[in-house]
Chain A
Amino acid sequence: MIASVCHLFLALVGAPFLLSVINRTKAWIAGRHGQPWLQPYHDLLRLLRKGAVYSRTTSWVFRAGPLIGLAAVLTATTLVPFGQARALVAFQGDFIAFVYLLGLARLVTVLAALDTGSAFEGMGANREVWFSALTEPALMLSLAALAREVGGNGSLSLSVLHLGMSAAVWSRTGFVLALVAVAWVVVLLSENSRIPVDDPTTHLELTMIHEVMVLDHSGPDFAFILYGAALKLWLFAALFVGLLSPVKTGLPGVDSVIALAEVMGVAVGVGLVESVMARLRLPSVPQLLIGACAISSLAFLIERHGVLLP
């Protein structure tokens, strides 16, 4: 229990740090020095100290959007296990709640964007909602594959699946897990608005998806949104390493440190991807996402108790 609470604090405090890891990685590849390590924290504090400006076109939906979004992501944090400890809240099927809490965050952001009556924000809302409709099946199917592989006797809780993963499982079903990992990478990049789906550093509104939805938020609201995005990235990274990484020693403290290192590793990976690749053309993004769905389904069809192999 204590371990779970500690991990919760680690997530809350460490999430913005992931953003600086990504930015420093990109800067290093580009030959620059990069921003200070604690820059995201400075940005958040600065925003929290400001007042706010609200558009006259908006209603309570706009004011509620950032709050509900952050509340949803924070609630999702209580569901994610870390290291050797289980999550604060764990029950059969909690990953469904995880996915749909993030869906709630997305819907309120979209509605807040539509509330401003602006063309740019409508455009972002439009694309966000379409891409997420394609990402959700990929996420669910990959979780289903994991449930089948790892949770042998019908247990469907993130905490149990997380503990069930080990090197032994990898040696048994390596190929399947590799496919699931590929699908997860695509889902992670898509849900967190990273290249190749969305470019977080673009200045052109017509090419934005996530940033353009939150154009009109200011002050504390904007701080909540930025923080929520960072936390969401942390959660996806933590789940990724927790559910798929075979490196587990069984000792609580050591496993937490290893998990932390792996999460930072994921951030570095994201930074590398962003440095190396360019963003896909928008009409090609659905192809990528449907491909992720297909890979997750394929993971089913070729696993040992599956359809194709006897």
Chain B
Amino acid sequence: MLPLLTAIGLLSTGGLIALVLGRKPRAAGTVAATACVAAAGVALPAVLAALAGGSPESLVLPWATIPGGAFHLVLDPLAAFFLVLVLVIPAVVAVPLADYLAATKPDRSHGLFWLAYTLLAAAMMVVVLAANVLLFLVAWEVMSITAYILVVFRDDRPEVRVAGWSFLAATHLGTAFLLPMFLILARGGPLEFDVLSAKELPTALVDTVFLLAVFGFGVKAGVIPFHVWLPTSYAAAPGPVPAVLSGVMSKLGLYGLLRVLTMLGPPPVWWAWVLIGLGLLSGVLGILNALVQHDLKMLLAYSSVENIGVILLGLGTGLLGLSAGPDRGGVALEALGFGGAMLHILSHAICKSALFLGAGAVERLAGHTEIDRLGGLLKVAPVVGTTFVVASAGLCGLPPLCGFSSEFLIFLTAFEEEARLSSVAMLPPLAVVGGLAFVGGLACYAFAKAAGLTFLGTTRGPSVLPQRLGWTASAIFIGLAIGCLSLGLAAPVVVGQLAPTIAVATRLPAPVVTAALPEVTGPLGGVTTTSTILLGILLLLVVVRKALLAGRVVATAVTWDCGYARPAASMQYTGSSFAEPAASVLGGGAGYSREVPSEMPYFPSEPPVRTDAVDPVKAVIYRPLFNALRATLARGRILQLGRVHVYVLYITLTLLGLVVWVLGIKG
């Protein structure tokens, strides 16, 4: 536990020093980045050791000023798994982020930003380690507020301010669901996690707790329909900051859900259906919305929503497996599903961080992230572009990269279930199979748009000058790309290491999970074999082509394009045209609208066709709801006359009334 406390201390100190150095952006950034890396270095060995199992370490310090509170930290395999993300990702993102801030030079003090960054990392550590309800909620709140500070850093723009408001409102709405949930579980007893449980609670209350957990933590994770804060906040946050928000903070919502699930008893089947339903909804709507976005960061944000949906599908099918019964391999199914979900958490964290770092680099190079005005950036920034393409392929779930291994496990779970279960029970896994395949296909579509139109071809807007990427930043990009590939190849080993984590999450005894593990690592081994064969053949083909072309004429020319000798950049497909076939059919699910003038001019100088995408959940659910609320409450406006003495009159009358009532009538 000491290394972890040291890490928290390092982060806080680093942040405070950065605050003092605020006026010198380079210095502040370097200090904060060093603090993050140092914290990761100090704490990771202990965390990895805890991941391997064994009895959990704990630390209890009393907290006098708050009744019921205690500084109670517990490091068990589940916490260790998420701690890996919390420690590594902020450290990895910090250096390119420092570069970005120093280059774009926003003219305000960076001190508060870096303090918020390090405090965010520290708060996330405490959230994962906390074993006391009040400590958890305090850390949760600190996490939300520091994330808010990061999001609204460029508050000179109005859309950033609006995004910040919606972020705050959403996160507090979510936390509002968490409080009653914890209170029900505690039932007046001590507020420690190891004591909270749902034993002897009536089923209705247990179900309520589950639903409260899903809503409360779902807001943070970004599950549809609670995701409306996510896209605008990620787009508003400067540069690569969303890498931390998406890669780690959203996952802590899933951590909360998993932790609460461990406190509840054996889950009834319909809980799995709820998770599967939400997973499908988030996956399909998420990727549809991603497809029609004009802004690269909004696209990546909606892709995060989709991936959270996929992770939920893994958790749901895992839970469903349990209901198949132990004799029909229920344990193996649960391990498969949960293993797939955890592996996907890891692969999404790596790939999404790489993608958002790439988006940050794009923002730095071109000044904006509108896909319709970008293009050809691979030649301007080769390292960034290559990493972006590789990470995109990873998130599409293509072998030999990491995304495939995790989606493979989730598919396998669903296939096994639909093959074994009978009648109506087979329908959810079937929906998972069809839905996941559809989501995967659309993900390829969306990322072909994101990677292809931004980095390939020629630029659709003003040309972009190359900027040298620092050594550290280049190393980080390349490292992430390699990590993406390695995780895919090493998946069987990694999942094997996750057995204790799965045991904690599913409340099964560790030996049982380890015994069922070959059913997971066996097929994954087959995947690794396939990937190795793929890489081997690829290498062979490279050699073959080199040999074939040696000594022959290899020329370069302008793009042949079937004989059209004068290609222009404006002839290329734009983001909207690329997404148009799907959007015109499925666009309803993405709030897609297209404006075509009734009379088209012959040689338009301005593009007459406009496409727009409004978040459908926001438009269909939240806006009407809040408008109705506002209309109802506006009726109370007559009381608000704006005159101070009238307000004092209201107060006086109330007081007098009370006094008269107490003294006169009650006697």
Q: Which A residues form the contact surface with B (CB < 8 A)?
A: 48, 50-61, 67-68, 70-72, 74-75, 78-79, 89-94, 96-97, 99-101, 103-104, 106-107, 110-111, 114-123, 125-127, 129-130, 132-137, 139-141, 144, 147-148, 151, 154, 156, 205, 212, 215-216, 219-221, 224, 286, 293, 297, 300, 305-307
Question: Are B415 and A147 neighbours in the complex by a CB distance under 8 Å?
Answer: yes
Report B375 CB to chain A, min CB distance, Å.
Answer: 7
Residues in A with CB closer than 8 Å to B408 are: 93, 96-97, 100
Question: Are B567 and A118 neighbours in the complex by a CB distance under 8 Å?
Answer: yes
Q: A67-B538, A75-B537, A111-B451 are in contact. Are A286 and B585 (CB under 8 A)?
A: yes
Partner pick for A117 among B412, B552, B567, CB 8 A cutoff: B567
Question: Are B412 and A156 neighbours in the complex by a CB distance under 8 Å?
Answer: yes
Residues in A with CB closer than 8 Å to B577 are: 122, 126
Question: Are B558 and A55 neighbours in the complex by a CB distance under 8 Å?
Answer: yes
Residues in A with CB closer than 8 Å to B422 are: 305
B542 contacts the other chain (CB 8 A): yes
Question: Are B541 and A224 neighbours in the complex by a CB distance under 8 Å?
Answer: yes
Residues in B with CB closer than 8 Å to A224 are: 541, 545
Residues in B with CB closer than 8 Å to A55 are: 556-560
B223-267: contact bitstring with A at CB < 8 Å (1 yes, 0 no)?
Answer: 000000000000000000000000000000000000000000000
Report B162 CB to chain A, min CB distance, Å.
Answer: 33
Question: Are A307 and B430 neighbours in the complex by a CB distance under 8 Å?
Answer: no
Residues in A with CB closer than 8 Å to B398 are: 100, 103-104, 107
A180 and B399 CA atoms in complex are apart in Å by 26
Question: Are B526 and A216 neighbours in the complex by a CB distance under 8 Å?
Answer: no
B300 contacts the other chain (CB 8 A): no
A134 and B440 CA atoms in complex are apart in Å by 10
Partner pick for B458 among A48, A57, A125, CB 8 A cutoff: A57
B471-509: contact bitstring with A at CB < 8 Å (1 yes, 0 no)?
Answer: 000000000000000000000000000000000000000
Residues in A with CB closer than 8 Å to B457 are: 57, 114-117, 122
A228 and B555 CA atoms in complex are apart in Å by 24
Question: Are A71 and B375 neighbours in the complex by a CB distance under 8 Å?
Answer: no
Question: Are B572 and A111 neighbours in the complex by a CB distance under 8 Å?
Answer: no
Identify 26 residue pairs between A and B in the complex whose beta-carbon atoms are under 8 Å apart, listed by A's number.
A51-B549, A55-B560, A56-B556, A59-B378, A61-B378, A79-B530, A89-B529, A97-B530, A103-B398, A107-B393, A114-B448, A114-B453, A114-B457, A118-B572, A120-B561, A121-B561, A132-B444, A134-B441, A136-B441, A137-B434, A137-B435, A140-B411, A215-B560, A297-B434, A300-B430, A307-B424
Q: A110-B452, A141-B433 are in contact. Are A119 and B530 (CB under 8 A)?
A: no
Report A305 CB to chain B, min CB distance, Å.
Answer: 5
Question: Are A59 and B556 neighbours in the complex by a CB distance under 8 Å?
Answer: no
Partner pick for B562 among A120, A122, A129, A130, CB 8 A cutoff: A120
A307 and B421 CA atoms in complex are apart in Å by 11
Interface centre among B418, B423, B534 (most CB of A within 10 A): B534
Q: A74-B537, A107-B398, A148-B419 are in contact. Are A122 and B578 (CB under 8 A)?
A: yes
B376 contacts the other chain (CB 8 A): yes
17 more A-B contacts (CB under 8 A) besides A54-B554, A116-B457?
A50-B552, A51-B552, A55-B560, A56-B556, A70-B537, A89-B526, A97-B399, A97-B527, A107-B393, A107-B444, A126-B580, A137-B434, A140-B437, A147-B418, A154-B329, A305-B423, A306-B426
A53 and B556 CA atoms in complex are apart in Å by 5
Question: Are A144 and B418 neighbours in the complex by a CB distance under 8 Å?
Answer: yes
Question: Are B556 and A48 neighbours in the complex by a CB distance under 8 Å?
Answer: no
Q: Which 7 A-B pairs have the closest CB atoms?
A: A91-B526, A133-B441, A122-B573, A117-B457, A114-B452, A51-B552, A51-B553
Residues in B with CB closer than 8 Å to A123 are: 573
Report A272 CB to chain B, min CB distance, Å.
Answer: 29
Residues in A with CB closer than 8 Å to B556 are: 53-56
Residues in B with CB closer than 8 Å to A137 are: 434-435, 437-438, 441
B127 contacts the other chain (CB 8 A): no
Question: Are A52 and B581 neighbours in the complex by a CB distance under 8 Å?
Answer: no
Partner pick for B416 among A50, A116, A139, A154, CB 8 A cutoff: A154
How many residue-residue contacts, CB under 8 A, span A and B?
278
Partner pick for B397 among A100, A151, A216, CB 8 A cutoff: A100
Identify the closest chain A residue to B417 (Cβ): A154
Question: Are B555 and A93 neighbours in the complex by a CB distance under 8 Å?
Answer: no
Report A210 CB to chain B, min CB distance, Å.
Answer: 14
Question: Are B448 and A100 neighbours in the complex by a CB distance under 8 Å?
Answer: no
Partner pick for B572 among A100, A117, A129, A305, CB 8 A cutoff: A117
Q: A72-B534, A219-B549 are in contact. Are A127 and B451 (CB under 8 A)?
A: no
Question: Are B448 and A129 neighbours in the complex by a CB distance under 8 Å?
Answer: yes
A74 and B427 CA atoms in complex are apart in Å by 35
Residues in A with CB closer than 8 Å to B442 are: 133
Partner pick for A141 among B329, B376, B427, B437, CB 8 A cutoff: B437
Partner pick for B545 among A75, A78, A117, A221, CB 8 A cutoff: A221
Partner pick for B537 among A51, A57, A71, A118, CB 8 A cutoff: A71
Question: Are A205 and B562 neighbours in the complex by a CB distance under 8 Å?
Answer: yes
Partner pick for B440 among A117, A130, A136, CB 8 A cutoff: A136
Question: Are B585 and A140 neighbours in the complex by a CB distance under 8 Å?
Answer: no
Question: Are A220 and B545 neighbours in the complex by a CB distance under 8 Å?
Answer: yes
Question: Are B555 and A54 neighbours in the complex by a CB distance under 8 Å?
Answer: yes
Partner pick for A103 among B396, B412, B530, CB 8 A cutoff: B396
A122 and B424 CA atoms in complex are apart in Å by 43
Residues in B with CB closer than 8 Å to A205 are: 562
A237 and B381 CA atoms in complex are apart in Å by 43
Question: Are A139 and B437 neighbours in the complex by a CB distance under 8 Å?
Answer: yes
A143 and B396 CA atoms in complex are apart in Å by 20
A57 and B542 CA atoms in complex are apart in Å by 21
B582 contacts the other chain (CB 8 A): yes
A51 and B526 CA atoms in complex are apart in Å by 38
Partner pick for B430 among A94, A104, A136, A141, CB 8 A cutoff: A141
Q: A137-B434, A297-B434 are in contact. Are A101 and B534 (CB under 8 A)?
A: yes
Q: A71-B538, A93-B415, A147-B415 are in contact. Are A101 and B379 (CB under 8 A)?
A: no
Q: A61-B389, A103-B440, A139-B437 are in contact. Are A52 and B554 (CB under 8 A)?
A: yes
Report B421 CB to chain A, min CB distance, Å.
Answer: 9
B456 contacts the other chain (CB 8 A): yes
A187 and B498 CA atoms in complex are apart in Å by 38
Interface centre among B416, B436, B452 (most CB of A within 10 A): B452
Report A233 CB to chain B, min CB distance, Å.
Answer: 19
Residues in A with CB closer than 8 Å to B430 are: 141, 144, 297, 300
Residues in B with CB closer than 8 Å to A101 are: 399, 530, 534
Partner pick for B448 among A57, A68, A110, CB 8 A cutoff: A110
Question: Are A59 and B444 neighbours in the complex by a CB distance under 8 Å?
Answer: no
Q: A67-B538, A79-B530, A154-B419 are in contact. Are A133 and B452 (CB under 8 A)?
A: no
B571 contacts the other chain (CB 8 A): yes
Partner pick for B412 among A60, A96, A106, CB 8 A cutoff: A96
Residues in A with CB closer than 8 Å to B557 are: 53-56
Question: Are B451 and A220 neighbours in the complex by a CB distance under 8 Å?
Answer: no
Identify the closest chain A residue to B427 (Cβ): A307
Residues in B with CB closer than 8 Å to A53 are: 554-557, 560
Question: Are B561 and A116 neighbours in the complex by a CB distance under 8 Å?
Answer: yes
B41 contacts the other chain (CB 8 A): no
Residues in B with CB closer than 8 Å to A136 are: 437-438, 440-441
B525 contacts the other chain (CB 8 A): yes
Q: A79-B530, A93-B523 are in contact. Are A156 and B456 (CB under 8 A)?
A: no
Interface centre among B419, B440, B523, B560 (most CB of A within 10 A): B419
